[in-house]
């Protein structure tokens, strides 16, 4: 059995982006959690899609997604001022 815990991952995400649940109002907490869960669901759907690909193609997709996410956060960091 895996020790992976999505609530723990959500808390790590909040920490990474500098959010504190205790300081967020109820609607902000709800919408942030919804966005996080939507992202997790999208990743699961993508993993289902790539499960039928050959290994090289699947790895290329994962590499591209990893690159796109990293690029997004670089842009966010430079535009957050």
- Return the HEC string of 21-63: HHHCCHHHHHHHHHHHHHHHHHHHHHHHHHCCCCHHHHHHHHH
pLDDT tens profile 17-51:
899 999 999 999 999 999 999 999 999 999 999 99
- 7 and 31 share one domain: yes
- 5 and 36 share one domain: yes
Tokens of residue 21, six digits: 């649940």
- 57 and 26 share one domain: no
- 41 and 55 share one domain: no
- 17 and 39 share one domain: yes
42 HSE (CA, 13 A, CB side)? 8
Residue range(s) defining the domain that contains residue 65: 51-81
Tell me how many domains the chain contains.
2
- 39 and 74 share one domain: no
pLDDT tens profile 52-66:
999 999 999 999 999
pTM for this prediction: 0.77
């Amino acid at each position: 059995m895996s020790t992976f815990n999505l609530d723990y991952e959500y808390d790590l995400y909040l920490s990474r982006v500098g959010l504190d649940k205790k300081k967020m109002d109820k609607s902000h907490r709800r919408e942030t959690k919804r966005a996080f869960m939507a992202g997790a669901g999208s990743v699961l759907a993508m993993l289902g899609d790539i499960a039928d690909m050959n290994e090289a193609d699947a790895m290329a997709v994962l590499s591209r997604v990893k690159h796109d996410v990293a690029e997004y956060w670089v842009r966010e960091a430079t535009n957050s001022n």
